[in-house]
Amino acid sequence: MPEPIRSISYGGGVQSTALLVLAAQRRISFPLFLFANVGDDSEHPGTLRYVEEYAKPYAAEHGIELVELDRVMQRTGEKRTLWEDLTREGSRSLKIPVRMSNGAPGTRSCTATYKIEVVARELKRRGATADNPATVGIGISVDELHRANNRRVEPHERIVYPLLDLGLRRTDCARIIRDAGLPVPPKSSCFFCPFHRPETWHDMRRTEPDLFEKACQLEDLLNKRRDTLNKDHVYLTRFAKPLREAIPDGVDLLPMFDEADGACDSGWCWT
């Protein structure tokens, strides 16, 4: 039987980049890092830049295989991004956790479809089986312990949390990255993710207005479709109003909120 695969689900954020450094230092044994890219039109551009400019060269320098994966439609072989799924003509897709009119998050399948399933398919392609499962490390740190769980996503996978084993917090992860001579990456996520905190949206409107406007246009499109279906509007914030109104231009102070109940708790997107 071949050696079991040991892989990190790499998100391009602080925690999984700290895992990359720890693997390079041989403090953890994970020679493979799999980055499921939900789409160059969907991932935050800052994350994509970091992966290309820092993570990939660092991994190559230290003998670590860092592989970027796309979602590929099994029947047609075409690549499909999350943005394309949400915006294509005739689509009724609501894969992201849009906020309903009462502020509660709707159901979502984006993480499962564009992260978990893509990584699982690659591990199976590499030979992982139920009898010889791959160990998949997720970058959840001690201060996010509530996000960890031991659910087996696929029978050929075994989920582990190396940062928890080492007792490391997010601040420790940032220090590990800096000590390795790397800049600390931004938090990874889709730029239009409804789980963004209000201050994240505010910063985007102030420093990345084109990206903010693109998110507003997505919200507009989703609601235009819901109008044709006689359904209530949905939103990218919990404030039950359009993003442009919820995050007003030129306002420096917003009420501070923790991440909403139901925020992404899998560790596959935000690490």
Domain parsing of the chain, residue ranges: 6-246
pLDDT at position 107? 80
How high is the pLDDT of residue 261?
42
Q: How far apart are the C-alpha atoms of 139 and 56, rounded to whole Å? A: 17
**Cα distances (angstroms) measured from residue 93 to each of 34, 84, 109, 221:** 26, 10, 10, 11
35 confidence band (pLDDT: 50, 70, 90): very high
Give how far Cα 146 sits from Cα of 73, 94, 261, Å.
33, 26, 12
* pLDDT for 258: 47
**Range of weakest confidence among 63-72, 74-83, 102-111:** 102-111
Cβ–Cβ under 8 Å, residues 26 and 199? no
Distance CA(132)–CA(155), nearest Å, equals: 10
Q: Which fold has domain 6-246?
A: Rossmann fold (3.40.50)
pLDDT in tens, 42-51: 999 999 999 9
Tokens for 40, please give them: 């160059």
Q: What is the pLDDT of residue 264?
A: 58
Query: pLDDT digits over 114-171, tens only?
Result: 999 999 999 999 999 999 999 999 999 999 887 787 555 689 999 999 999 999 999 9
Specify the pLDDT at position 68: 98
Where does the pLDDT of residue 214 fall: very low under 50, low under 70, confident under 90, or very high at 90 and above? very high
- Alpha carbon 56 to its chain centroid, in Å, reads 17
Chain CA centroid to CA 64, Å: 21
Buried b (16+ CB within 10 A) or exposed e, 25-37: eeebebebbbbbb
